[in-house]
Amino acid sequence: MLQWITRWSRKLTDLKAALLLRIAFVSAGCLVAAALYAVHEARQEEIERAAAAVDIIGRQLDMQLLRISTQIDTEKRFPDWDTVIDDLSLAGQCIELHSPAGELVRSHCVGTPAAGAAAPRWFVWVWERFYGDSAAAKRHVGEGANSRGTLVVTSTQSAVASRAWKQVRQLTVFTALIALVLASLVYLALARALKPADQLIGGLEQMTAGNFSMRLPSFRLKELDHISKASNALAAKIEAMLDERNHLTQRLVVAQEEERRELARELHDEYGQNLAAITALAASMEKSLEVSEPDIASEASSVGRIAGGMLHSLRGTLRRLRPADVDEIGLDEALRQLVSVWNSRRRPATQFALHLPEEIGPLPPATAMHVFRIAQEGLTNAVRHAEASKVDLRLEHIISAGAVEDRRMRLTIEDDGKASRLASGKLSPGMGLSNMRERVDALGGTIDFQLVAGGGLRVQVTIPTPAPVPEVRLS
């Protein structure tokens, strides 16, 4: 039973409710023990009442026999106990005198007052099954040849059960009131002691949401103060690890950009010039041999077309590896060129739309490059993996008013393609999202993936942006 109570109470999420449940079960046990004690005391009291009554009445009859033997009293008045029963509390008891042969000589029964509270039938039934007539008291009247039989005092079980029920009810009500008062005091004490737990839970929820800069205060309760200190130490360690990771991510992204620029430079200087030379040489050969050697001139023309196609493809790769400097032409113009290139390459299969604010404003060069790369990767994903027919690219400012103005930039890429790869909130690896996450982390922003109506995918990137510096004019 105790194990079941423990398991059931563990399912409760409220500590106060769990403790009150235990107090309730303990109180119930106390009530049962008090009821059993009251029943036992009522039975013992009834046995003592019967024994006292049979002793007093027996001595009265012995005294009467003595008076008869001395001829002070007459035989016909025996047994006479009327003079003593008026002073006895015999409610619910019967007095019987049996002759030595077992015949009933005289009996006298006293009922219970009608105003007395009767016990429930089930209680009387249980009482009779357990105790029966075990409270009866017996005493011999007279001695030797002068023996007049046996005096028996018995109790009516329903009356005894009613008296026991009255005591059980009073004791149960008293114990229940004590348990109720105790539970209320314990609940109030726990509620006051655990009131800081709400603040502790709120802080932990902020940590769960990613706010590791939050610190919990100190608490007077030693256990809660230990939890607060451990949580603050954990938050500080996680915050330091995240700062280190962001720092490494920024270095990684910068290294990637440098590597892309170096690779683009090498491709342009080596392969680009060689392909341009091959194209020019093939055109010269075709011009020189078109009369004398038309077959060779035709092959030279084919070589020129192939080299020209390779050169065109290389230029597209160079634009992706190293677009025009965003800090020189601006982020808005770089995004317009990006969307224009995709429209020229994918039209009419896929249509790209761009929505920009009236003014983007100055951004740090690294931030502008990261936003451009994120948009570039998002458009590539929409084309290669989603098989989208329409892709919208939107850039907007979000300003939240407060004690400190919070300025953020939100980049949204939404397509109408097939987002079946998005299962249980997780995108399949290999879709080029790792680079997007790395850049977002480097900017201290967030990235969110949402399914839209029709099966498309919406990618929202939110990054903090610095507030514009007011212009100072010298008069």
Q: How confident is the model at residue 15 (pLDDT cuts 50, 70, 90)?
A: low
Q: Which of 126, 139, 102, 110 is nearest to 39 (CA)?
A: 126
Chain segment 232-249, per-residue pLDDT in tens: 888 888 888 877 877 777
Q: So what's the pLDDT on residue 420?
A: 53
- What long-range pairs does 200-204 form, CB within 8 A, spacing at least 24? 200/224, 200/227, 200/228, 200/231, 203/228, 203/231, 204/231
Domain boundaries, the chain: 2-193, 199-322, 328-466
Q: HEC string of 163-175?
A: HHHHHHHHHHHHH
At 249, list the tokens.
């991510």
Q: How confident is the model at residue 222 (pLDDT cuts 50, 70, 90)?
A: confident
Q: So what's the pLDDT on residue 394?
A: 92
* 96 contacts 107 by C-beta, under 8 angstroms: yes
Q: So what's the pLDDT on residue 412?
A: 92
Rg (CA), the chain: 51
Q: Which residues contact 69 (CB under 8 A, 6 or more apart)?
A: 146
Angstrom CA distances, 310 to 140, 313, 316, 322, 329, stand at 133, 5, 10, 18, 28
Chain segment 346-405, per-residue pLDDT in tens: 767 788 899 988 887 778 877 888 888 888 888 888 877 767 788 999 999 887 765 455
Antiparallel, parallel or unpaired: β 351-355 and 390-400: parallel
* 379 contacts 361 by C-beta, under 8 angstroms: no
CA 257 from chain centre, in angstroms, equals 44
Q: So what's the pLDDT on residue 393?
A: 92
Angstrom CA distances, 219 to 15, 197, 214, 431, stand at 18, 9, 16, 48
User: How many whole angstroms separate alpha carbon 273 and alpha carbon 167?
Assistant: 111
Angstrom CA distances, 335 to 323, 327, 471, stand at 10, 12, 27
Q: So what's the pLDDT on residue 13?
A: 54
328-466: which CATH topology? Answer: Heat Shock Protein 90 (3.30.565)
Q: So what's the pLDDT on residue 201?
A: 79
Angstrom CA distances, 14 to 21, 67, 226, 387, 475, stand at 11, 79, 20, 51, 67
Chain segment 87-118, per-residue pLDDT in tens: 677 677 788 888 888 888 888 887 665 545 57
Angstrom CA distances, 251 to 240, 439, 443, 462, 465, stand at 17, 11, 12, 21, 20
Q: So what's the pLDDT on residue 324?
A: 56
CA 238 from chain centre, in angstroms, equals 23
Half-sphere exposure of 415 (CA within 13 A, CB side): 24
Percent of the chain whose predicted confidence (pLDDT) is above 90: 3
Chain segment 130-156, per-residue pLDDT in tens: 776 656 788 888 887 778 888 888 877
Helix (H, G, I), strand (E, B) or coil at 461: strand
Does residue 185 have a pLDDT over 50? yes
**Range 323-332 average pLDDT:** 71
* 392 contacts 375 by C-beta, under 8 angstroms: no
